[in-house]
């Protein structure tokens, strides 16, 4: 059976290819250097029966995108394609599955003359990378006797053979294939021989073992105007000592030589020699060369390796366009708290949402609410409605459904838990600032807060304004004592100034809607357009500013979630296109493809008549939506007007109503930065370079973190996009070591102690120091399961892109009641003397003492549990409430019913470990050094240190108690205080520490100093 793959871009056929069959039911296509864009796919068999590629999840296309084929569906567009990314497409005809994998294909150049051939008519390859199955390679000639082979192979070392016209070559020995930057490409390093590994073993490889690229931050990192970090890479254990020689002028008068510190990456078999050098004054230009010593031989490296000191690398910061990679210190010192506003705390019940993302059209008026919050003609217009809307009860079992859910699910034929509203609001966050302060939080990331009908607000109706259901739906006329500068270019008036007498008891929902007729057609009730001079500060905006100021007064920074890849299909500019059709200037803000069924809104129509047509056009007009969702139309990030709109939005919220950056940030009324949603999905990646300039030039001490799920070195190490990442890779390593229990190398494979340290070491080489220090080391987020639940789902493995786990058999029971009757759980936690929270406590010791900024998802500190969305987004557990019992939601269960309440012991613990982090700056800025690990005992010990302080962290990750663990330090006869227990421990004359440690416990040992 043969299959054809059809690829569509903007609903037009982009490419049609025949899939390559590998095995009985497995077919592939290597899509080389894809163009950025949004694509949809279908597979056709020999009878031209077509199957659409579709899916039912919202996970961004970070690395792998798993889908399925549906004969009766329309292909769903998939976003996340960037220029020059290779895509491996896999199709399984038996299982009816389809996947896309972002990769970098390995390209081999084969010269057939090397094997005694003048010409060939057929080329095949086989090897350990494909279990020695023979794969035919299209003949791609790139010279008289040279051919290119493109392989979709993961990083690693392989053996292979070529097959020319059915004959295997070479006849005897196998060839070696090494994929990725690996020390295995080069001769093995040998210390003390005087010979250095430099050229690759394979003559066709151009990569060198010794590497330094001043254009990349991970090799030359300008930390400040007078501090620079230098890095050179060598083969593992090949160079005894490394130095850098620096001249501050051409006459070599001020030459200084500094020894570099070795950082070994045993995963890829490289050594990285590093040194941060603080100069006496601001440095504008200098020259440098690396000196490598091994045995009695000295080498120089200036881009090339030589035995003689020749030219040096010359740097002029201005000429070479090398700027400080500035990441504010507060972001490195942050203890992050991620708040999902609708689920944190409901202060104002009178402000609860009156409908959800389905809009008033799908609901009857509920007279228990104020029905005049929205126009009467908008309600109950669909053929089958969900009845009367109401928020879900905060303290109920999450499985409990409202009447509208029950009826709505009979109409939609799927779960509507994702669309619930619980009523959390900004006033609720403000009321809980003392709680956060007592916990030790000093930085908050708010999931989206801009105007939206959705509970998660990732589909925005208006970036200019805060969502009324988070601020206020009914206006009060209150100005909240907010100062608005008369010359603020992004809004110099408040809603009170605009509405005057009608600023009280008005509806923000109505005021934010686009006028479809009359003299204010194309504007909202405040008279706003995309021109920032028309913008105002709504009451909900002022409530947000009041919250920002109160957070700042309490020493808590705050960043917004920037969702600039897409909007909702109710965004005001999108509605303009629905209203005006192809003639709208906002058409080019999006990716529209078909206006053939557009219905014109005629002059003289009433607002009600125009609104009905607008909603018809919402279905009639075709466009590209993020992840295939019509409710989330994608922006055209190349459009200049759209870019300016987002840039102005950015400035508005950074500067605040007073239009300035306060010298004392405790008094500032603007936000402190952004977390960026799916930034890899933007087709125009230059957008982020330009946007960063806007952010940093508007407010220097801002922080930009990105939702990038893998190795983001390409986006970080140029220094021109993001400061850091949400560190999902850190979380994967945590899961691999602390949680996984499998001992075969499958998805649930447990990292050994040495492997854990190796992986951490490798990931610390990905980014410059500032980015590593400021990366958000997170327990989880609104997109992942709760870490406490992952502990009792140890067979799930490290995959964080699981989709809807609960429906896939996840163990969603309260973790302390989990048992190994469940297929995802290997431990009987009910009977175990170790409990899941003991493991969470141990992880927290690592989290608070490792490099990077710790982040909690709201409720982690009180033991909240649950699978991925929506179960990780349950309402916060507060001690002041009494919650209904929960029924075990797992597919495999024993009808368990149990209580829900916050874990006060765990809360006390988090307060303690956060306090330790904040009181010891060495845990933020100190160096990291491995001291001890034992694979058999599953114990890891490391040190954080600087000139003034030493802290040693001990982690016993086993289920066994140990006595007489001996750790070597360089500190003889010193006293250490365990900051967790207050106990003293002493090192011997030889610097060794002997200690005992209980199962699944940690120690934080601080070197004691008098008067400290």
d(CA 942, CA 464): 47
What is each CA distance from 866 to 727, 872, 891, in whole angstroms? 20, 5, 13
Helix/strand/coil for 273: strand
Q: What are phi and psi of 646, to 5 degrees?
A: -65, -40
d(CA 861, CA 441): 11
Helix/strand/coil for 54: strand
Given a contact cutoff of 8 angstroms between Cβ atoms, the answer to whether 957 and 753 are in contact is: yes
d(CA 756, CA 479): 54
pTM assigned to the model: 0.90
In this predicted structure, what is the pLDDT of residue 1012? Answer: 47
Triad 235, 106, 25: Cα angle to 5°: 135
In this predicted structure, what is the pLDDT of residue 204? Answer: 66
Q: What number of CA atoms fall less than 13 Å from residue 232's CA on the CB side? A: 26
* Contacts of residue 252, Cβ cutoff 8 Å, sequence gap at least 6: none
Question: What would the two tokens of residue 106 be?
Answer: 């390995």
Question: What would the two tokens of residue 61 be?
Answer: 């296309």
In this predicted structure, what is the pLDDT of residue 479? Answer: 96
Given a contact cutoff of 8 angstroms between Cβ atoms, the answer to whether 877 and 794 are in contact is: no
Which one, of 735, 724, 976, 765, lies nearest residue 840 by Cα? 735
- Eight-class DSSP state of 997: E
Q: What number of CA atoms fall less than 13 Å from residue 140's CA on the CB side? A: 11
* Contacts of residue 842, Cβ cutoff 8 Å, sequence gap at least 6: 738, 955, 956, 957, 1000, 1001, 1002
Helix/strand/coil for 976: strand
Helix/strand/coil for 407: helix
Helix/strand/coil for 580: helix
d(CA 931, CA 908): 29
d(CA 265, CA 262): 10
Triad 1002, 957, 237: Cα angle to 5°: 100
d(CA 76, CA 629): 8
Pairing of strands 146-151, 106-111: antiparallel
d(CA 948, CA 51): 65
d(CA 709, CA 686): 20
In this predicted structure, what is the pLDDT of residue 137? Answer: 86
- Eight-class DSSP state of 143: S
Which one, of 487, 626, 496, lies nearest residue 569 by Cα? 626
CB burial of residue 610 (10 Å; 0-12, 13-18, 19+): buried
d(CA 215, CA 217): 7
CA torsion angle 432 433 436 438 (round to 10): -110
Which one, of 317, 320, 402, 412, lies nearest residue 353 by Cα? 402
In this predicted structure, what is the pLDDT of residue 669? Answer: 98
Give the bridge partners for 169, in sequence order.
162
Q: What are phi and psi of 305, to 5 degrees?
A: -95, 135
Whether the ω angle into residue 870 lies within 30 degrees of 0, i.e. cis, is: yes
Strands (E) in 214-343, as ranges, are 220-224, 227-235, 241-247, 256-259, 261-265, 270-278, 285-294, 297-301, 305-306, 313-316, 336-339
In this predicted structure, what is the pLDDT of residue 583? Answer: 94
Question: What would the two tokens of residue 380 be?
Answer: 């109950």
In this predicted structure, what is the pLDDT of residue 771? Answer: 97
Average predicted confidence (pLDDT) for the chain: 93
Give the pLDDT confidence of 219-259 residue by residue, as tens digits: 999 998 889 999 999 999 999 999 999 988 655 556 789 99
CB burial of residue 876 (10 Å; 0-12, 13-18, 19+): buried
Helix/strand/coil for 239: coil
How does DSSP assign 709-773, residue by residue? Answer: -S--HHHHTTSSS-SEEB-HHHHHHHIIIII--B-SSSTTBPPPHHHHHHHHHHHHTSS-HHHHH
Q: Token match 């850091």: residue?
A: 724
Q: Token match 């220029």: residue?
A: 83
Give the bridge partners for 53, in sequence order.
69
Helix (H) or strand (E) holding 27: strand 26-34
User: pLDDT under 50 in the chain at which residues?
Assistant: 1012
Q: What are phi and psi of 753, to 5 degrees?
A: -55, -45
């Amino acid at each position: 059976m043969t299959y054809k793959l059809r690829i569509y871009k903007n609903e037009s056929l982009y490419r049609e290819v025949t899939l390559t069959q590998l095995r009985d039911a497995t077919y592939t296509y290597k899509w080389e250097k894809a163009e950025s864009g949004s694509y949809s796919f279908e597979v056709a068999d020999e009878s031209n029966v077509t199957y659409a590629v579709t899916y039912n999840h919202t996970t961004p296309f970070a690395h792998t995108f798993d889908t399925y084929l549906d004969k009766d569906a329309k292909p769903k567009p998939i976003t996340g394609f960037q220029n020059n990314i290779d895509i491996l497409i896999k199709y399984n005809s038996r299982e009816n599955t389809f996947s896309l994998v972002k990769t970098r294909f390995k390209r081999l150049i084969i010269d057939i003359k090397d094997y005694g051939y003048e010409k060939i008519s057929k080329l095949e390859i086989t090897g350990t990378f494909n279990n020695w199955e023979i794969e035919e390679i299209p003949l791609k000639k790139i010279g008289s006797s040279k051919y290119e082979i493109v392989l979709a192979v993961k990083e690693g070392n392989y053996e292979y053979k070529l097959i020319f016209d059915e004959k295997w070559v070479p006849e005897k020995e196998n060839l070696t294939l090494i994929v990725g930057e690996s020390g295995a490409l080069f001769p093995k390093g040998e210390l003390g021989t005087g010979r250095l590994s430099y050229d690759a073993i394979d003559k066709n490889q151009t990569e060198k073992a010794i590497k330094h690229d001043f254009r990349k931050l991970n090799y030359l990192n300008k930390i400040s105007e007078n501090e620079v970090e230098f890095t050179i890479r060598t083969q593992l254990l090949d160079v005894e000592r490394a130095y850098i020689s620096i001249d501050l002028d051409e006459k070599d008068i001020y030459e200084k030589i500094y020894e570099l510190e070795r950082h070994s990456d045993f995963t890829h078999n490289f050594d990285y020699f590093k040194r941060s050098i603080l100069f006496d004054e601001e440095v504008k230009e200098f020259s440098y060369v690396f000196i490598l010593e091994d045995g009695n031989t000295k080498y120089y490296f200036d881009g090339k390796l030589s035995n003689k000191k020749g030219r040096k690398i010359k740097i002029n910061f201005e000429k070479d366009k090398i700027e400080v990679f500035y990441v504010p210190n507060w972001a490195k010192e942050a203890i992050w708290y991620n708040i999902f506003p609708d689920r944190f705390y409901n202060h104002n019940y009178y402000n609860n949402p009156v409908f959800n993302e389905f809009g008033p059209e799908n609901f009857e008026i509920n007279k228990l609410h104020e029905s005049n919050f929205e126009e009467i003609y908008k309600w109950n217009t669909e053929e089958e409605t969900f009845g009367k809307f109401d928020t879900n009860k905060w303290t109920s079992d999450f499985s409990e459904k409202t009447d509208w859910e029950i009826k709505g699910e009979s109409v939609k034929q799927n779960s509507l838990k994702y669309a619930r509203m619980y009523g959390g609001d900004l006033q609720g966050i403000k009321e809980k600032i003392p709680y956060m302060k007592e916990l030790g939080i000093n930085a908050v990331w708010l999931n989206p807060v801009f105007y939206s009908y959705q509970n998660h607000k990732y589909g925005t109706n208006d970036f200019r304004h805060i969502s009324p259901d988070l601020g206020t739906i009914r206006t009060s006329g209150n100005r909240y004592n907010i100062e608005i500068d008369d010359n603020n270019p992004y809004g110099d008036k408040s809603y009170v100034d605009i509405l005057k007498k009608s600023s009280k008891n008005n509806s923000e929902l109505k005021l934010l809607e686009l006028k479809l007729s009359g003299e204010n057609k194309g504007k909202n009730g405040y008279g706003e357009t995309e021109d920032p001079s028309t913008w105002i500060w709504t009451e909900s905006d002022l409530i947000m500013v009041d919250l920002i100021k109160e957070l700042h007064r309490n020493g808590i920074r705050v960043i917004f979630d920037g969702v600039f890849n897409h909007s909702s299909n109710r965004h005001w500019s999108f509605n303009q296109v629905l209203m005006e059709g192809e003639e709208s200037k906002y058409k080019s803000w999006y990716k529209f493809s078909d206006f053939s069924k557009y219905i014109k809104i005629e002059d003289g129509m009433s607002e009600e008549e125009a609104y009905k047509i607008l909603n018809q056009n919402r279905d009639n007009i075709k466009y590209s939506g993020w992840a295939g969702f019509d409710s989330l139309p994608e922006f055209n990030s190349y459009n200049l007007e759209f870019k300016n709109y987002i840039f102005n939005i950015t400035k508005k919220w950074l500067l605040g109503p007073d239009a300035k950056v306060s010298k004392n940030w405790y008094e500032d009324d603007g936000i402190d930065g952004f977390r960026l949603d799916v930034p890899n999905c933007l087709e125009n990646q230059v957008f982020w370079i330009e946007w960063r300039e806007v952010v940093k030039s508007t407010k220097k001490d801002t922080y930009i973190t990105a939702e990038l799920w893998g190795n983001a070195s390409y986006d970080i190490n140029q220094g021109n996009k993001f400061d850091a990442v949400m560190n999902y890779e850190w979380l994967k390593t945590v899961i691999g070591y602390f949680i996984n229990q499998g001992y075969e190398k499958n998805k649930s494979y447990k990292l050994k102690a040495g492997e854990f340290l190796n992986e951490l070491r490798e990931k610390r080489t990905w980014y410059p120091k500032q980015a590593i220090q400021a990366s958000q080391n997170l327990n989880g987020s609104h997109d992942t399961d709760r870490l406490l639940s992952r502990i009792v789902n140890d067979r799930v493995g490290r995959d964080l892109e699981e989709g809807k786990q609960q429906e896939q058999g996840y163990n969603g029971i309260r973790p302390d009641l989990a048992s190994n009757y469940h297929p995802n759980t290997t431990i009987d936690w009910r009977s175990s003397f170790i409990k899941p929270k003991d493991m969470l406590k141990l992880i927290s010791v690592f989290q608070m003492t490792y490099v990077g900024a710790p982040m909690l998802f709201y409720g982690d500190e009180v033991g909240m549990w649950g699978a991925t969305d929506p179960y990780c987004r349950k309402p916060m557990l507060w001690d002041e409430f009494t919650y209904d019992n929960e029924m075990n939601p797992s597919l495999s269960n024993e009808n368990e019913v149990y209580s829900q309440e916050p874990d006060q012991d765990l809360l006390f613990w988090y307060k303690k470990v956060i306090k330790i982090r904040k009181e010891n700056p060495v845990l933020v800025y100190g160096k990291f050094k491995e001291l001890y690990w034992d694979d058999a005992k599953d114990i890891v010990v490391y040190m954080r240190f600087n000139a003034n302080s030493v802290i040693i962290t001990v982690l016993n990750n086993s289920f066994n108690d140990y006595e007489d663990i001996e750790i070597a330090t360089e500190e003889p006869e010193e006293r250490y205080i365990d900051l967790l227990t207050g106990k003293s421990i002493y090192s011997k004359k030889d610097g060794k520490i002997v200690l005992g440690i209980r199962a699944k416990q940690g120690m934080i040992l601080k070197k004691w100093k008098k008067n400290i």
